Amino acid sequence: MTEQTASTGAETSAREAKAQTRRRMLAEFWFYFSENKGAVIGLWVFLALVVIALLAPVIAPHEPNQQYRDALLVPPVWQEGGQWAYILGTDAVGRDMLSRLIYGAQFSLFIGVIVVSLAMAGGVSVGLISGYMRGAVDTAIMRVMDIVLAFPSLLLALVLVAILGPGLLNAMIAIAIVLQPHFVRLTRSSVFNEINREYVISARVAGASPFYLMTRTLLPNCLGPVIVQATLSFSNAILDAAALGFLGMGAQPPTPEWGTMLADAREFILRAWWVVTFPGLAILVTVLAINLIGDGLRDALDPKLKRS
Amino acid sequence: MLSFILKRIGLLIPTFIGITIVAFGFVRVLPGDPVLLMAGERGLTDERYNMLLKQFGYDRPIWQQYFDYLGGILSGDFGHSLVTKKPVLTEFFALFPATVELALCAIIFAIAVGIPAGIVAATRRGSFLDQTIMGTALVGYSMPIFWWGLLLIIVFSGWLGWTPVSGRISLLYFFEPVTGFMLIDSLLSGQKGAFISAASHLILPSIVLATIPLAVIARQTRSAMLEVLGEDYVRTAKAKGLSPRRVVGVHALRNAMIPVITVIGLMVGTLLAGAILTETIFSWPGIGKWMVDSITRRDYPVVQSGLLLIAAVVMIVNLLVDMTYGLINPRIRHD
């Protein structure tokens, strides 16, 4: 009985110590991250976008696809002819711009999350295998990645969408495939750096299986650069998906995706500046916020920069 | 040096074969019958269908089809466009100079602005100027360039009326292409105003295409300069009493340029991807717009060969960059 309590007591204290280390690491991370003012601003903007996306049905003044036939190309409220009902104006078929932009945030964030998850899951697994196995497997994988990287990314994504058929889902798959080699290369080179370290060798000597070594021993120590790459890929995914939408190969009208909205707006550029300006501004602000976060993460996670 | 070059070329061969497999496979994985896709004809009779099947060689084993395809490429046969019926290679070479002209102007602009901006930011680290430059660079780096192009059109073509909206030159001028570069051809034509017209058509697309490379170059120059400015030899140069201009311009800059040149070299892919969007917005008749149009028109022979040709161009330019890099930085060569 007493033995049992003693062992649970030891377990709790071990767990507590672990939790404490984690808290200390988090505090240290936040210290370096918050040094970078831009990164903190980026984080706030990003959180605001997440809230807007989640609450879109509540805060959007109109349905995104509702067409008001008596209010075509109404300018924003501060311009002559503007109406308070449509704060940022309406588009060529009388849909409220603000509501469409708010719903568009859902698409962009969703695209970013799905594409990065796909690209990261695929890329990190392949990179771990490539770095761990070395030899012929590694060579074969790296040659395949070289082939993917030989094509300009947007062109390859376009061609993949031509094969799969235009649409948001296919565009996301195509972008994930195009972004994935970067994760493979990064993970592989991190594994190369780590694999001969003592902790890996001791885990191996202790009898860890290759799977355990790859996922539990190596992976956590390779994550720093992967996380930075993930934020970069997040903004790239949003930009590329918007570009595909703009070229008519991504989300299809009337989806209120920002790139697709821009494609619809093209013919009105010299008549109604607002239908062109706002969707692009939304893309720019989102991507800028994520890139600011990415810069901050790099500062916080890169040990070389920390010491200088 | 020769063995270095040969090794690099040797590494390219498997990639090139891979690219041909991708281009070859592209038509086979498209949904639909490849004969109908590649012939682009509708309502074929059985007889005509079988004739085309034979003509394209689709009745033969797949590996044999691949070697036929590869043989065709190596002898310069890249197929014919379904729309124009012209050989794809002819179309490619007719449009390629337009893209090269645009990309060259863009990269020259990006270097001319990006490197000085990066140097200024690095030498005044932490100042307001540094923060402004780096903030602007991050905005440029985050820019959806297709929107940026539309904005510039609204302001400079729509409101101010300074620049034309699209195309390479005003319709008032016509001359046979000599080099394919409109700036040079317009000068050679001797027509008054032709050069100005060509140049004014180039300004906006070049700025748009240069935006992301400029931001990347400025950021890279700044961080490379900062690294070099902390080195011992820079301190020595300063201690010798050299002027700050000489220390930065000669001692630091020369060493800082190595990573910057690498980044510029790796930008070929970025430029070509950017050209797809830039050319579409400005109706610039280059290979980017050609590919987008071909994809939307389902002109699959063009897409197939265009993909291959563009990837080959990227590969060759990357090889050239690698070799120049080997010339500049002897450390790489002897690895």
pLDDT in tens, B110-165: 999 999 999 999 989 889 999 999 999 999 999 999 999 999 998 998 889 888 88
Among B29, B151, B273, the residue with its CB nearest the CB of A280 is: B151
d(Cα B50, Cα B35) in Å, to the nearest integer?
9
Residue B195 is predicted with a pLDDT of 86
Four-CA torsion B73, B79, B84, B89, nearest 10 degrees? 10
pLDDT at B330 over 70: no
Contact B4, B326 (CB under 8 A): yes
What tokens does B14 get? 């498997």
Residue (of A187, A190, A189, A282) closest to A230 by Cα position: A187
Query: Model's pTM, two decimal places?
Result: 0.88
Q: What is the pLDDT of residue B60?
A: 79
CB-based contact, A305 to chain B, within 8 Å: no
Inform me whether the pLDDT recorded for B264 exceeds 90: no
In the block, residue with structure tokens 């950021």: B219
**Residue A129 pLDDT:** 93
Of residues B63 and A288, more confidently modeled: A288
Q: Is residue A90 part of a domain?
A: no
Identify which of A3, A237, A288 has the alpha carbon closest to the alpha carbon of residue A107: A237
The pair phi, psi for residue A90, each rounded to 5°, is -125, 165
Instruction: Please tell me the total count of domains within chain A.
Output: 1
Instruction: Look at A291 and B141 and tell me if their CB atoms are within 8 Å.
Output: yes
User: Residue A142 falls within a domain, yes or no?
Assistant: yes
**Chain B residues in contact with A154 (beta carbon < 8 A):** 273, 276-277
Q: Decide if A116 touches B, using CB distance below 8 A.
A: no
Identify whether the C-beta of residue B102 lies closer than 8 Å to the C-beta of residue B275.
yes
Structure tokens at B50: 């079988």
Residue A25 lies in a domain: no
Q: Give the tokens for residue B190.
A: 């001797």
Q: Higher pLDDT residue, B68 or A290?
A: A290
Measure CB to CB from residue A153 to each of B273, B295, B303 and give the nearest one.
B273
Average pLDDT over residues A54-77: 88
pLDDT at residue number A8: 67
The interface residues of chain A toward chain B in range 134-163, judged by CB-CB distance below 8 A, are 143-144, 146-147, 149-155, 158-159, 162-163
Q: Is A254 on the interface with B (CB under 8 A)?
A: no
Within-domain flag for A65: no
A4 pLDDT above the threshold of 90: no
pLDDT of residue B335: 45
Interface probe, candidates A147, A148, A291, chain B, greatest B C-beta count within 10 A: A147
Query: What was the pLDDT predicted at B111?
Result: 94
Burial pattern B207-236, b for ≥16 Cβ within 10 A else e, equals bbbbbbbbbbbbbbbbbbbbebbeeeebee
Residue A264 lies in a domain: yes
On whether any CB of chain B is under 8 Å from the CB of A10, the answer is: no
How many C-beta neighbours within 10 Å does residue B105 have?
19
Kindly state whether A273 is in contact with chain B, defined as any CB-CB distance less than 8 angstroms.
Answer: yes
Q: Which of A146, A159, A249 sits opposite B26 (nearest CB)?
A: A159
We report the CATH number of the domain holding residue A133 as 1.10.3720.10
The residue ranking higher by pLDDT, B228 or B110, is: B110
Nearest chain A residue to B312, by CA: A150
For the residues A59-88, what does the mean pLDDT come to? 87
The rounded distance, in Å, linking the Cα atoms of A91 and A78 is: 16
Output the pLDDT for position B284: 92
Q: Could you say which of A248, A270, A291 has the minimum Cβ distance to residue B142?
A: A291
Q: What chain A residue is nearest to B146 in terms of C-alpha separation?
A: A243
The answer to whether residue A288 neighbours chain B at the CB level (below 8 Å) is: yes
The mean-pLDDT minimum among A214-218, A274-278, B5-9 falls in B5-9
Contact B147 A262 (CB under 8 A): yes
Tell whether A34 is covered by a domain.
no
Domain containing A130 equals: 41-57+98-303
Task: Give one DSSP letter per residue of B143-187, joined into a string.
Answer: --HHHHHHHHIIIIIIIS--S-SSSSS-TT-----SSS-HHHHHH
Q: Over 90: is that where the pLDDT of A240 sits?
A: yes
Average pLDDT on A34-46 reads 90
Note whether residue A21 is domain-resident.
Answer: no
Is A129 domain-assigned?
yes
Pick from B15, B147, B296: which is nearest to A248 by CB?
B296
- 8 Å CB contact of A284 and B29: no
Residues, chain A, total?
308
Q: If pLDDT is split at 50, 70 and 90, which confidence band does A120 have?
A: very high
Q: How many CB pairs below 8 A link A and B? A: 124
> Across the interface, which of A248, A277, A288 has its CB nearest the CB of B142?
A288
pLDDT in tens, B64-97: 888 888 888 888 888 888 888 899 999 999 999 9
Name the residue among B266, B317, B323 with its Cα closest to residue B5: B323
Per-residue pLDDT at B317 exceeds 80: yes
A286, B142 contact by CB (below 8 A) = no
Burial class (CB in 10 A: 0-12, 13-18, 19+), B179: exposed
Residues in chain B: 335
Question: Are residues A143 and B14, on separate chains, in Cβ contact within 8 Å?
Answer: yes
Distance from CA of A153 to the nearest CA of B (A): 6
